[in-house]
Copies of this chain bind each other. A is one copy, B any other.
Amino acid sequence: MNIKPLGDKVVIKPLDQEEKTKSGIVLPDTAKEKPQQGEIIAVGSGRILENGQKIPLEVKVGDKVIFSKYAGTDIKIEEQDYLILSERDIHAII
């Protein structure tokens, strides 16, 4: 897949049920922020600080993450669902 997120954005592929079970982590449907699990597919080149310095992202391609679904943008590439969101909407690497 050829997609390059800008700045601090990343592309995430949501994990399917089997992969979720393997991680041993359950994210309750009723949680107030709708957390989800996914795999990082592509990352932006980083966030630019007010002093001009570029800070690379903490996550890298292949990382499994927990993220908040709210801020993301849904896209579909060749029948597969993905999300684009900012790294600040990612809670943790699992």
Contacts and interface: CB of A to CB of B under 8 A. Distances in A.
Contacts of A88: 7
B49 A73 contact: no
Given A58-B45, A59-B6, A27 B75 contact: yes
Interface residues on A, range: 35 or more
Copies per complex of this chain: 7
Contacts of A92: 3-6, 9, 11, 42, 84
A75 B55 CA distance: 28
Interface of A: 2-7, 9, 11, 24-28, 31-33, 35, 42, 45, 48-53, 55, 58-59, 66, 68, 73-78, 84, 87-88, 90-94
